[in-house]
Amino acid sequence: MINIGTGDPIKLTKNLIRHRSITPVNDGAIEQLSHWLEELGFSCNILSFDQEGTDTVKNLWAKVGSEGPTICFAGHTDVVPTGNIDEWSSNPFEAVEIDNKIIGRGAADMKGAIASFIAATKKFIEENPDFPGSIGFIITGDEEGCAVNGTKKILRWMEKKNLTFDDCIVGEPTNPSYLGEMIKIGRRGSVNGIITVEGIQGHVAYPHLADNPIPKLLRILENLIKDNLDNGTDHFQPSNIEITSIDIGNEATNVIPHKASANFNIRYNDIFDNKKIEEEVHKRVRVLNYNYSINFEHSGDAFLTHPGQFTKNLSNIIENQTGRRPELSTSGGTSDARFIKDYGNVVEFGLVGATMHKIDESASIEDIRNLTEIYYQTLKKYFYS
Ligand SMILES: [Zn+2]
């Protein structure tokens, strides 16, 4: 275990990248974080969660302080696979510096932000050992995977122990190209669907004895995407359906298949919830009067943290530090904020996401230092304003 030392966020980032924590592997990352936080006076709980059919995952809840208000930093130590290591400029787990950037898997998403959380907290606590309130850390090793044994379960565990918080910053890489560009104040809902049309299998030369499901499926899909779902709302872009695959699996050239399926994904705004979006899909399909079935798999409704004082303070601090006024956005994919929002106020702000999940993922050294300062100023403003 490496000690926190001066708490330099660059050193901490490099150390975290050297833990090869590809979901669900932890490789000591959670223990290292826990060690640093204990050095800062936090009480730490390493929580292992499992469920049948999934891998056991290590998570961390850490807290310092005994009164409110409580601000939490939240994030994940797990990373996505590297892809072909030979295509990287340097080993993705060595955290080499090239052109003032740290190259490594997880540099942007989101070990750089976690290192910034730690460095900011160290600086704040050393300057204000008796600060009026509490700081918590909600860290999971299961965000990039199925997210079953991660944040959701930490929050449920906290609920049982009566551990609450008021506000939370998730350190996902929210900025598309420059630090200071974007705070996420919500996310769209997401649902996958598989639609299947049954027909009757037969010989292509005797179509009157068969019933081809493919033309029906095509008409259904056309209906599904013909009209816009909506025109967007105050804080959300329009909802969108994308057809992601059409699967017949028919290798014969002379057989009418007995069924045809297609996959789609919908990213929807706060006009819909999981029931309403299913109803809308059925409405668009039902009018054609075919025999069909749809399997929906939901990953969470849209949510919005209404911009208030916390978001305003964060925006001001970001603008002071970077010279950019961040856009308040609900765009992009889902994150663990979808679970956290049920327990407290949540916003997301981290590094630049341009290279996340890619070959040569990187984080700028200057950005990591600026992000540390932004988190530090946020703590100061939170407890002393
Ligand atoms: Zn992430």
**Interval 156-197: pLDDT, tens:** 999 999 999 999 999 999 999 999 999 999 999 999 999 999
Give the model's confidence band at 59: pLDDT under 50 very low, under 70 low, under 90 confident, else very high.
Answer: very high
Residue 1 within a domain: no
> In this structure, are 277 and 336 located in the same domain?
no
> In this structure, are 30 and 164 located in the same domain?
yes
151 C-alpha to ligand 1 centroid (Å)? 12
Distance CA 48, CA 154 (A): 9
pLDDT above 90 for 385? no
Distance CA 161, CA 62 (A): 13
Number of separate domains in the chain: 2
336 C-alpha to ligand 1 centroid (Å)? 9
Distance CA 254, CA 203 (A): 6
Residue 3 within a domain: no
State the chain's mean pLDDT as an integer. 96
**CATH number (domain holding residue 330):** 3.40.630.10
Distance CA 229, CA 283 (A): 12
127 C-alpha to ligand 1 centroid (Å)? 30
> In this structure, are 179 and 68 located in the same domain?
yes
Q: Looking at 78, 167, 181, 280, which residue is catalytic?
A: 78
> In this structure, are 38 and 60 located in the same domain?
yes
- The tokens describing 150, both together, are 């991660």
Does residue 367 have an active-site annotation?
Answer: no
Of 298, 327, 343, the last residue of a domain is 298
Residue 4 within a domain: no
**CATH number (domain holding residue 237):** 3.30.70.360
> In this structure, are 262 and 317 located in the same domain?
no
Residue 101 within a domain: yes
Identify whether the C-beta of residue 319 lies closer than 8 Å to the C-beta of residue 325.
yes
Residue ranges in 323-364 assigned as alpha helix (H): 337-340
Does residue 39 have an active-site annotation?
Answer: no
Q: Looking at 109, 142, 143, 373, which residue is catalytic?
A: 143
> In this structure, are 183 and 201 located in the same domain?
no
359 C-alpha to ligand 1 centroid (Å)? 16
> In this structure, are 177 and 85 located in the same domain?
yes
333 C-alpha to ligand 1 centroid (Å)? 10
Of 265, 298, 331, the last residue of a domain is 298
> In this structure, are 161 and 307 located in the same domain?
yes
Spatial neighbors of 161 by CB under 8 A, at least 6 apart, are none
> In this structure, are 75 and 199 located in the same domain?
no
Give the model's confidence band at 147: pLDDT under 50 very low, under 70 low, under 90 confident, else very high.
Answer: confident
> In this structure, are 23 and 147 located in the same domain?
yes
Of 298, 314, 349, the last residue of a domain is 298
Per-residue pLDDT tens over the stretch 232-243: 999 999 999 999
pLDDT above 90 for 332? no
Residue ranges in 40-77 assigned as alpha helix (H): none
pLDDT above 90 for 146? no
- The tokens describing 54, both together, are 């999934």
Residue 47 within a domain: yes
Share of the chain above pLDDT 70, in %: 100
How much is the pLDDT for 279? 98
> In this structure, are 75 and 114 located in the same domain?
yes
Query: What is the span of the domain harbouring residue 245?
Result: 189-298
> In this structure, are 156 and 285 located in the same domain?
no
292 C-alpha to ligand 1 centroid (Å)? 37
